């Protein structure tokens, strides 16, 4: 029994110096062992100005910081809403003018294909327009307005006038009529459409001028601002 205890003590005394020698030869391993035993984890030191500790992350935001963020979000949302509203209004105005131009072109095409005169009639009182044409009846030929052809301008859009350059006449009350003929010609005319705005200098935020050339019934949108102002002065 004593022999076994002495043998174990000799083995422990031989292993201990060897382990100490191994740790002394590998100082990094000894540090790792020491850190693992102490329960700590190595922290890397960064020279970057954006580096922060876990304590900074857990600190949270102050009340002033939250107020500043909310104010910035509110300002950006207001600017986006104003921009979106302006874009939407502009697109809507272009859509209204495009619908009128399509109705004029459609009347021109029908007059040629069907070899019947077609009229586009503008009602200034109701701010609407419709197509009229001659239809066969049992006893006579009469003007017929097809159901669903009445179109009313949306919102504050208004028909301001229809101008006929060949006779220098501007119509702004009751009705204005543009005729399209089977030979492809039409009444030489100009249609002025405006969007009412009381805060604007001339009373309209948008002003559009649609020109119908009598020789070939070509429909175009006038972009010249001075020409628009000249038509507006006729009111």
| Domain definitions of the chain by residue range | 72-232
The CA distance from 178 to 141, in Å, is 20
Residue of 223 and 8 predicted with greater confidence: 223
Local structure of 62: helix, strand or coil? coil
Name residue, tokens 């020698």.
Answer: 21
Q: Tell which CATH classification among 3.40.50.1970, 3.55.40.10, 3.40.50.261, 3.40.50.10320 matches the domain 72-232.
A: 3.55.40.10
Instruction: Give pLDDT, residue 56.
Output: 52
The residues with which 175 forms a beta bridge, in sequence order, are 123
Q: Give the whole-number percent of the chain exceeding pLDDT 70.
A: 63
pLDDT at position 54 = 46
pTM (2 decimals)?
0.59
Residue 7: Cβ within 10 Å count: 9
Taking alpha carbons only, the member of 104, 119, 98 closest to residue 208 is 98
């Amino acid at each position: 029994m004593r022999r076994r205890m002495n043998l174990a003590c000799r083995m422990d005394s031989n292993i201990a110096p060897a382990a100490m020698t191994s740790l002394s030869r590998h100082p990094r391993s000894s540090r790792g062992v020491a850190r693992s035993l102490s329960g700590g984890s190595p922290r890397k030191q960064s020279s970057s100005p954006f580096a922060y500790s876990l304590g900074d992350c857990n600190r949270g935001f102050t009340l002033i910081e939250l107020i500043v963020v909310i104010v910035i979000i509110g300002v950006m949302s207001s600017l986006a809403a104003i921009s979106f509203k302006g874009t939407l209004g502009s697109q809507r105005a272009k859509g209204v003018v495009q619908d009128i131009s399509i109705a004029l072109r459609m009347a021109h095409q029908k007059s040629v294909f069907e070899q019947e005169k077609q009229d586009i009639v503008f009602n200034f009182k109701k701010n609407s327009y419709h197509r009229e044409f001659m239809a066969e009846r049992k006893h006579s030929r009469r003007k017929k307005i097809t159901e669903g052809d009445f179109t009313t301008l949306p919102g504050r859009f208004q028909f301001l006038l229809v101008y006929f350059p060949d006779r220098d006449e501007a119509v702004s009350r009751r009705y204005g009529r543009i005729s399209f003929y089977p030979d492809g010609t039409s009444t030489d005319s100009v249609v002025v459409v405006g969007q009412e705005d009381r805060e604007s200098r001339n009373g309209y935020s948008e002003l559009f001028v649609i020109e119908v050339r009598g020789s070939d019934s070509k429909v175009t949108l006038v972009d010249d601002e001075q020409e628009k102002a000249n038509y507006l002065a006729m009111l």
